[in-house]
Amino acid sequence: MHSAGVMTRPLILLTGASGQLGFELAHLLRAHATITAADRAALDLSDADAIVSAVRSAKPDLIVNAGAFTAVDLAESQTEVAFAVNARAPGVLAEEAKRSGAMLIHYSTDYVFDGTSDTPYDETAATNPMSVYGASKLAGEEAVGSTNAQALIFRTSWVYGLRGKNFLLTIKRLAAERPELRIVDDQTGTPNWSRTLAHATAVVIARGLPYLAERTGLYHLSCTGATTWYEFARAIVARGAKMPSSNAPAPRVVPIATEDYPTPARRPAYAVLSTRKFTAVFGETLPDWREALAACLSSTSPVDTMSAQPRD
């Protein structure tokens, strides 16, 4: 990083570079660092030896682990691979970071909680995952922590974006196909545009690795406000004029109970994350989820400059 007192651009190894968060990170971080971007084809996170090889080859100053096994329901039947990617891989990355003196940023999830709270979860709240996905992500947090590597863990929730598989794209597709959408209305959380999360990450990385090294730990990184999947769907459909769809009228959005839409994995009924710690430490507050959604739906390209930025 330093040569004769001159700051040089850090080298970042980014995993999951083709995912909805990793893709945004790959573009935003290039302004602040030299990026080695590895997608699933280049780096299989279920292969511990491949991870070691990739890190030692790249020699990064910072590892940003945006890769994960995020198919929540599929994880119930593919437990081994879910734990390999979500639990073992972060631990291996942390071990390699510690060995080489690098730092690690790792992302986790609201699914580490059981959803029985009725107030936002802070970083000290007791974890109690109810699904294989949640358990694997919690194990990943613990694996990173056990290495004593210099690491920041960012928990977030309800991630969506303009690529990949997510709730936003599903609702946009179904709204063009069906007259009625039946959406769960008894699960509460905070939607997060992947670009909003990537931008907040880039903002803190831009302050330099010494700055990050003084602020290692667990943080909740999320937009503000809360909603249900039903209200989130209504907000998406309400902006139907922004969607490429048929000339048919907007579909009705009908609220249903979780029990009316059974899934292999249980979801937390309440998954709002308190971001007071992130704001206090980094001086950044992410926008309200509605503001981020509006920016996303009016965006024409995954690499547009984001209008709903974390506020300075």
pLDDT higher than threshold 70 for residue 96: yes
Instruction: Spell out where 41-150 has E strands.
Output: 62-65, 103-109
CB distance 125 to 83 below 8 Å: no
- In angstroms, the CA 275 to CA 283 distance is 11
The pLDDT tens digits of the residues spanning 55-91 come to: 999 999 999 999 999 999 999 999 999 999 999 999 9
pLDDT tens digits, one per residue of 121-155: 999 999 999 999 999 999 999 999 999 999 999 99
Q: What is the pLDDT of residue 299?
A: 87
CA distance 4 to 254: 64
For residue 311, the model assigns a pLDDT of 30
Using the predicted structure, report yes or no on whether residue 14 has a pLDDT greater than 60: yes
Tokens of 256: 């249903």
Supply the residues annotated as catalytic: 133
What is residue 239's predicted lDDT score, i.e. its pLDDT?
Answer: 85
- Tens of pLDDT, residues 208-242: 999 999 999 999 999 999 999 999 999 999 987 44
pLDDT at 240: 72
**Residue 116: Cβ-neighbour burial (10 angstroms; 0-12, 13-18, 19+):** exposed
Residue 2, pLDDT above cutoff 80: no
Contacts of the segment 37-45: beta carbons below 8 A, 24+ positions apart? 38/13, 38/14, 40/16, 40/67, 42/17, 43/15, 43/67, 45/15, 45/16, 45/84, 45/85, 45/89
Closest to 115 in 3D by CA, of 101, 128, 103: 128
Tell whether the model's pLDDT for residue 7 goes beyond 80: no
Tell me if 181 is assigned to some domain: no
158 assigned to some structural domain: yes
Q: What is the DSSP string of 249-278?
A: PPPEEEEE-GGGS--SS---SB-PBP-HHH
The predicted pLDDT at position 309 comes to 35
- Considering the domain boundaries, does residue 105 fall inside one? yes
- The beta-strand segments (E) located in 196-306 are 217-220, 227-228, 252-256
User: Any idea which residue has 């007192």 for tokens?
Assistant: 5
- pLDDT surpassing 80 at residue 303: no
Whether 304 shows a pLDDT value over 70: the answer reads no
Which pLDDT belongs to residue 249? 81
Model pTM score: 0.92
pLDDT confidence bin for 301, thresholds 50/70/90: low
From the list 156, 152, 179, the residue with the least C-alpha distance to 109 is 156
Structure tokens that stand for 306 in this block: 């984001």
Residue 178 is assigned to a structural domain of this protein: no
With respect to residue 20, please indicate whether it lies within any of the assigned structural domains. yes
- CA-nearest of 302, 157, 195, 183 to 237 is 183
| Largest pairwise CA distance in the chain | 66
Q: Look at the block and give the residue holding tokens 């390999």.
A: 84
What residues make up the domain containing 45? 2-164+191-226+272-297
Structure tokens, 116: 């029985």
Structure confidence by residue, pLDDT tens digits, 250-268: 899 999 999 999 999 999 9
Q: Please determine, for residue 277, whether its predicted confidence score (pLDDT) is greater than 90.
A: yes
Q: What is the pLDDT of residue 246?
A: 54
**DSSP-based three-state secondary structure for 239:** coil
**270, β-bridge pairs:** 188
| CATH for 85 | 3.40.50.720
Cβ(187)–Cβ(223) below 8 Å: no
- In total, how many domains does the chain have? 1
User: What region does 208 belong to: left with phi over 0, alpha with psi -120 to 50, or beta?
Assistant: left
| Predicted local confidence at residue 302, as pLDDT | 55
Residue 68 lies in a domain: yes
Give the per-residue pLDDT at 307: 34
In a domain? residue 264? no
Asked if residue 186 is part of any domain, the answer here is no
How does residue 306 score in pLDDT terms, banded at 50, 70 and 90?
A: very low
Mean pLDDT of 90-112: 98
pLDDT at 305 over 50: no
Both tokens assigned to 254: 């009908």
Tens of pLDDT, residue by residue over 153-192, are 999 999 999 998 999 999 999 999 999 999 999 999 999 9
